Each structure stands twice: as structure tokens, then as C-alpha cells.
Amino acid sequence: MTETLAPSAASTPAHPRPPRARPRPFRLALGATVGLALGTVALLPAEGLAQAGAWPQRAIRVVNPSSPGGGADVISRILMQEVSRTIGQSVVIDNRPGAANIIATEIAAKSAPDGYTLLMAATGTFVTNPLIYAKLPYSIADFEPISNVADAPFILSVHPAVPAASVAELVALARAQPGKLTYASFGKGSSSHLAGELFQAMTSTRLIHVPYKGSAPGMADLVAGNITMSFDSGLASIPNIQAKRIRPLGVAGARRLPNLPEVPTLSELGLQGFEAGSWYGVMAPARTPRDIVMRLHGSIVAALAVPEVAKRITDLGASIIGSTPEAFGTQIARERERWAEVVKRAGIQPE
């Protein structure tokens, strides 16, 4: 199903823009965006047709590994609505979920390096898949980093019936009942699975890993009380926290979340350096011309600087990043090294 959406008036930056010849009075609210059950959505630029130049001359496709309403999907739509204004062309969000993000990543990797197909790399699977799967139809070297858009640290939460009001109490409970407490993940080798492995290593506990096919079913079981705990993003966790269906114990990030200021970081609670979560970054196929990469980077940074865009992303429990291609590449290499050690320590064998 394809639907054409005009840019949100709410995402218009504070600085004045040239008058439009044919204004579009359509508003796109975040709530409506999340609720759309779409496969492919075209976001039309407010500035009309592309300006003269070698690139872009036609619509740009962003291959997205998330189902409609997932974290990567929502952030892609918020970001690319504004990017389309800057580059003067439409941007098409192409949702290709499944197979631990391998389907979408392979499509992007095998696309022409001409700036017309991009990947919204989502969560740590981009880094961890090469550590978990013996054979992949792509490699990290098949991509050119453009920018890490946002980081969404996991929130460690438990069901309210769990007799642990703090991380210290949870650790004590787990040590008293080794191999009894359960934690949900998005699947074997996923970032949430490895977060649980890191937690066990740092707390000398033994938990039961329960893999699900994505975040939604795991969160549903946590809310139902069928699972003890989970490491999940703010997009999935915050609405349930606010409704008191789950209890947050700590944030697996470098700083507290603005919309959960009372919840400490795990580092504050003694687990120094415990950082795990989802990150959402834009990539192009390797050998994409440098000038196109830098123009895309500039348009992404400009979009993230628009207050309404930044607010809509941070309201999801994410932090705005907007890193350079070089910094993003360094982050990927650093995370691959860190998670390789966790995989090795946990004894996870490549499939």
C-alpha cells in the first residue's frame, strides 16, 4: 500500500523559508504516523520539484528494517519529512522487516551507489549480526556511514508483581534464585539479548533468556506478568511505564532520559559503563560519491536542528546525535569490538 503525505507543518524550522508557489495545508501528527499500517510511504518535499543539479533528480528510497510503527519506522518518517524539504525531492520509506533486519540490509547493500537508495540501520543488529550469523549476504564494508541520527538507550523494567523496587533488589533476587528469573529479547543475538548477557556478566547472576520475534510480543508478555524483566526502548516502554503496567529500574545509557528524569542510569547504580540500546543511523551503499554523502549528512543535521523534529524524536526516549560519517564509522567499529567480547563470554555460537 502506498500513500503520499505532504510535509508536516509542525516540522517547519524556525528560520523563514522561501514562499511556496503551491502550499500544502496538510498536517502530519506523530500519533497518526505511528498508527499507519503502511508498507511504503512517499514523503513529498514542500519546496516542489528538485533544483537544477547532478543530484538528486528523482525520489530517494530509504529502506527500513522496521515494521510500520516500529522505532526505525517512526524516526525515519519524522526525519525524512524534513530532509525532503532540504534536498528538494521526495523521499520514499520502504519498510522491509524480517529476518533480524537482514532483508532490508541486503536490499540496501546490493543497490546502486548513486545516492538514491539509503538504509536506516536500526538497533545493534547491524553490528551484532556479523557476530551471530556465520554467513550473511552483505558485510559492514558494503556500506558508507552517513550519520547516526539518534540513540535510544534501553530501559530495564520489571513487572510490578516482581518483588524488586531497585536494581540492587533485582540482583539480590536473581542471586537467590539462580536460573529462575526470565528476561525478554527481540531474538537470539539481538541487542536486547546481548544487554541481558552483559547484565548477567556484570552482576554475577544467571537469568533465563526468552527470545521473541521483535519487541512487541516480549513487551506484551512482560505486561501480562509472564516475563520477569526486559531491556527495551523508550518507544515500547514509556507508555507502559506511564500506565504503571511495568516498573522501570534503570536506564542503560550515559544520561537520564528527559521524560523519565526520576529513573537513574545503570552506571549511577553501580554498573559502570553499562550502555545498551537501539541506535538509528542512515547509511548508503559503499562507493557512493563523497559529495552526495556529505550533502545527505548536511540535510540530516539540518533536519535534527529543527526544534519540532528534535522534540518528536526525544519524546520517544531517544537522544539526538547527528554525528559525522567518520564519527559514525568509529562508533560502529567500537561497538563491534565491545559486543564481540560479550558474545564470546556468553558462548553464543554463530549460526
What digits encode the pLDDT tens for the residues 159-203? 999 999 999 999 999 999 999 999 999 888 888 999 999 999 999
What is the pLDDT at residue 41?
A: 52
User: How many Cα neighbours within 13 Å face the side chain of 232?
Assistant: 34
What is the pLDDT at residue 16?
A: 42
What is the pLDDT at residue 290?
A: 96
Ramachandran angles phi, psi of 22, nearest 5°: -130, 85
Gap between the Cα atoms of 111 and 119, Å rounded: 10
Residue 204 DSSP class: T
Question: CATH top-level class for 2-153+277-340?
Answer: alpha beta
Question: Which sequence spans correspond to the domains of the chain?
Answer: 2-153+277-340, 155-275
- End-to-end C-alpha distance for the chain, whole angstroms: 34
Same fold, 2-153+277-340 and 155-275: yes
What is the pLDDT at residue 5?
A: 33
Segments of the chain with pLDDT less than 50: 1-38, 46-52
C-alpha to C-alpha distances, 110 to 137, 139, 249, 281, 286, nearest whole angstrom: 9, 11, 42, 18, 10
Query: How much is the pTM?
Result: 0.80
Spatial CB neighbours of 158, under 8 Å, sequence gap ≥ 6? 164, 170, 222, 228, 229, 246, 247, 249
What is the pLDDT at residue 308?
A: 96
What is the pLDDT at residue 349?
A: 81
Spatial CB neighbours of 204, under 8 Å, sequence gap ≥ 6? 175
Q: What is the pLDDT of residues 241-256, one digit of tens each?
A: 999 999 999 999 999 9
What is the pLDDT at residue 29?
A: 34
What is the pLDDT at residue 42?
A: 57
Gap between the Cα atoms of 26 and 28, Å rounded: 7
Select 155-275's CATH number: 3.90.79.10, 3.40.50.970, 3.40.190.10, 2.60.40.1930: 3.40.190.10
What is the pLDDT at residue 34?
A: 36
Gap between the Cα atoms of 104 and 129, Å rounded: 13
What is the pLDDT at residue 69?
A: 81
